[in-house]
Amino acid sequence: MAISPAGLRPEPGSFRDPANRVFHVGDDVLRGLDARAAEDWRALAGTDFFTALLAAGKVCGTEAVEPARVPADTPWAAVLRHERIPFISHPYEWSFGMLRDAALLHLEILQAALPAGFTTKDGSAYNLQWRGSEPVFIDVGSFEPLRDGEPWAGYRQFCQTLLYPMLLTAHLGVDFQPWLRARVDGIEADQLRPLFRGARRLLPGVPTHLHLHGAMQSRNAAASTTDVRAQLRAAGYSRELALATVRGIEKLVRRLDRRPATSHWADYQRTCGYSSQDRVAKERFVTAALADGPRPRLVLDLGANDGRYARLAAGHADQVVAVEQDPAVADALYRALREEREHRILPLVMDLADPSPGGGWRGVERASFADRAAAADVVLALAVVHHLAIGRNVPLPEVVDWLVGLGRPGARIVVEFVHPDDPMARRLLANKPEGLFPDYRREEFERLLAARCRIARRAELPSGTRTLYTAVVGG
């Protein structure tokens, strides 16, 4: 396959390893390799362990294609084509169970690679993505031949982006997502050590991987990588010891857990005030909206809760991204989807009033949620508007503008407006000064929506306090 440099779009998040670079041509995801990386790839492609990982879907689908100049002024010794992941997510949008399973997959891959004479030079959580509830390793360029006497080069990244966040949540009950979102390179040992003093110093994983690791980093801060490698070789560090170390980390990760705690939102479907008639009518409306038009490639379910409507959407779409603010609820959903082997639904943790911005270098290394959502064909915003407009004081015109701005041109928006006299709206209004939201009315919402979209269908639920709309952006 010949690859033309025309229309190349370098992946903003792949610049850190100069030996290889990911870029896009149309729907193709391509990776250029320099001479050394190309040599490593040819050796890797011939191994049984890598072929088995590919066959099992644990590493993203990869094949060599004709070398080309990508971009035009940079010669690549080899070019690979990867499968396209349905929706790119970031580790600070994952639940605890997702982060843990991603870590276990990384360790499983490393344990398969080491006996075959390979290692991974990176250990970042960003090297993993998801096919629904199934993790997949995407950084094929990270594999390199193992040199005896050298430690796992990705250990520090693994700690900062995977292990330390898990320690924070499993041992202290602190949600890791804000910590990871604040630092694209993860949590430093120096940031976490003050939280693990006294008796907490002895919690599983803390003495070795936090305190001892941090102390060794400080001690060797002035030493070069070559010096450290030489010291380890002199001390007898071997491939067998490296494998034993990785197995020990895996054993620790399997011990770490944080079962979803009791949450206000965990029982929302029972306490939200829907009658059985409302629920049936709502499901029928959503089903009709999903079936009305071409099969969606991507559906966003905003405020997914227990995934009732995400599952409904999965029956009509290729991929559903189920966004939920509560980490405990999102984790319960992920664990249920994992048990169901549901690979069409990707659950994410995100506050819709504060969605993921662009991050990293120049704010584009990690794409914002809005940028990633731009490919959506259908947006479900069920029981969301009142939480933003009343609960978070977002002006109603802003809420409508935001909804209309999600997805591609022509996307369908399925939105629920909860009237001011609905029990849930009254509950939110009870905590606000009287008269604070004079424009929060169905007529005003409908006017705003109609000004930006073509309202294809509307229906009032039997309770009489909620109205559903299907609107076509720019229609």
List of residues 6+ apart from 71 with CB closer than 8 A:
5, 8, 10, 23
The pLDDT tens digits of the residues spanning 136-186 come to 999 999 999 998 778 898 999 999 999 999 999 999 999 999 999 999 999
pLDDT of 395-447, one tens digit each?
A: 999 999 999 999 899 999 999 999 999 999 999 998 888 888 899 999 999 99
Burial of 298 (0-12, 13-18, 19+ CB in 10 A): buried
User: Which DSSP string corresponds to 404-472?
Assistant: HHSS-TT-EEEEEEE-TTSHHHHHHHTTS-TTS-TT-SHHHHHHHHHHHEEEEEEEE-TTSSEEEEEEE
pLDDT band at 62 (very low <50, low <70, confident <90, very high): very high
Q: What is the DSSP letter of 388?
A: I
What are the residue ranges spanned by the domains of the chain? 9-82, 91-255, 268-473
pLDDT at 324: 98
Q: Which residues of 34-127 form beta strands (DSSP E)?
A: 62-65, 78-82, 118-120
- What CA–CA distance (Å, rounded) separates 463 from 444? 20
CATH of 268-473, one of 3.40.50.1980, 2.40.50.140, 3.40.50.150, 3.40.50.620: 3.40.50.150
Neighbours of 206 (CB within 10 A): 19
pLDDT at 218: 63
Query: In sequence order, which residues have a C-beta less than 8 Å from that of residue 471 and are 6 or more positions away?
Result: 404, 412, 413, 415, 449, 450, 452, 453, 454, 455, 456
